[in-house]
């Protein structure tokens, strides 16, 4: 069951919390999607939320990276955490990193999960690999993408697209269906509006001052080229990199390996995070 977080501009954000102990806030991918971490087993007090415009949160702007960073801080404050660990997946990894750079004293550790890094120019390689991995489903995906769609067809398009995120082709359809359940309309406006704000070189420079430990988790078979993350890892002074034998969604494809790597990192942060009310 979720509860409403009221952002400082009045926008209602869906959030839910489970477990006890040191806190971690999960930031889902997208943007324009919703929380898909319900199957994740992590230690501590785990907070999941839907970013504005998607899922169970209110569909209102502005849709900017700065606004999403502010929303994440509102979720932290609402949860009563003076400081917290963050886990971000894909676009959510970028969001979590930007939050850590903006509020370093409020972040005890960061899991940068299947993020796309700060090196531009990877999209062409990704697109070619995506089309190749879809294989026989490429024609159906293309037909759906090029026409106006019903909500049923919108879900089918997403499922077809998400199958490419899994290295295990035999289970890809079932795992993509799990990502689409429950289903909420994708907010394409958010996805189009939220780009990379600011100069990536400036972000890399700021990374050099981030003292919090960072776990960078790659899927060996992720279609998003992992070389794009190399400069980020090199810039972070306290980063550890782990590569799992998965695609883009490790917690669904290899849950035990994911839990060992990420759960171990979070547990190792110790009691530095304050799970009680802010002072």
Let me know whether 22 and 93 are in one domain.
yes
pLDDT score, position 152: 97
Let me know whether 29 and 144 are in one domain.
no
Place of tokens 């995120």: 165
Alpha-carbon span 236 to 66, nearest angstrom:
21
Let me know whether 115 and 133 are in one domain.
no
Alpha-carbon span 252 to 167, nearest angstrom:
11
Decide which of 167, 185, 203 is a domain's last residue: 185
pLDDT in single tens digits along all 279 residues of the chain: 467 899 999 999 999 999 999 999 999 999 999 999 999 999 999 999 999 999 999 999 999 999 999 999 999 999 999 999 999 999 999 999 999 999 999 999 999 999 999 888 899 999 999 999 999 999 999 999 999 999 999 999 999 999 999 999 999 999 999 999 999 999 999 988 886 555 676 788 899 999 999 999 999 999 999 999 999 999 999 999 999 999 999 999 999 999 999 999 999 997 444 444 343
Alpha-carbon span 8 to 185, nearest angstrom:
25
Residue 252 lies inside a defined structural domain of this protein: yes
Question: How would you classify the pairing of strands 107-113 and 214-219?
Answer: parallel
Residue 277 lies inside a defined structural domain of this protein: no
Decide which of 185, 215, 231 is a domain's last residue: 185
Cis bond before residue 182 (omega within 30° of 0): yes
Q: Which two tokens stand for residue 217?
A: 């988790």
Question: How would you classify the pairing of strands 12-18 and 45-49?
Answer: antiparallel
pLDDT score, position 196: 53
Let me know whether 197 and 108 are in one domain.
yes
Residue 49's nearest CA partner among 34, 62, 61 is 34
Domain count across the chain: 2
Q: What is the reported pTM? A: 0.94
Let me know whether 92 and 197 are in one domain.
yes
Residue 100's nearest CA partner among 114, 87, 113, 91 is 87
Decide which of 132, 167, 185 is a domain's last residue: 185
- Domain of 10 in residue numbering reads as 3-122+189-268
What is the CATH number for 55?
Answer: 3.40.50.1820
Let me know whether 60 and 93 are in one domain.
yes
């Amino acid at each position: 069951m979720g509860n409403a977080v009221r952002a400082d501009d009045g926008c209602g954000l869906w959030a839910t919390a489970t477990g006890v102990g040191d806190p971690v806030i999960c930031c889902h991918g997208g943007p324009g999607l919703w929380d898909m971490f319900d199957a994740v087993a992590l230690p501590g007090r785990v907070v999941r939320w839907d970013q504005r415009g998607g899922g169970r949160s209110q569909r209102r702007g502005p849709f900017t990276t700065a606004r999403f960073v502010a929303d994440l801080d509102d979720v932290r404050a609402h949860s009563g955490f003076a400081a917290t660990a963050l886990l971000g997946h894909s676009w959510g990894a970028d969001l979590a990193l930007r939050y850590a750079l903006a509020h370093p004293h409020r972040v005890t550790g960061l899991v940068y999960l299947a993020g796309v890094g700060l090196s531009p120019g990877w999209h062409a390689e990704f697109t070619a690999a995506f089309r190749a991995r879809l294989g026989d489903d490429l024609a159906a995906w293309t037909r759906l993408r090029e026409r106006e769609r019903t909500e049923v067809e919108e879900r089918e398009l997403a499922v077809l697209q998400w199958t490419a995120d899994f290295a295990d082709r035999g289970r890809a359809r079932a795992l993509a269906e799990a990502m689409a359940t429950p289903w909420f309309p994708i907010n394409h406006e958010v996805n189009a509006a939220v780009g990379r704000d600011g100069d990536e070189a400036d972000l890399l420079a700021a990374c050099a001052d981030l003292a919090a430990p960072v776990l960078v988790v790659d899927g060996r078979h992720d279609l998003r080229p992992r070389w794009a993350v190399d400069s980020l890892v090199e810039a972070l002074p306290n980063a550890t990199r782990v590569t799992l034998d998965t695609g883009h969604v490790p917690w669904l494809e290899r849950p035990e390996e994911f839990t060992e790597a990420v759960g171990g990192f979070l547990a190792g942060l110790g009691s530095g995070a304050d799970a009680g009310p802010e002072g």
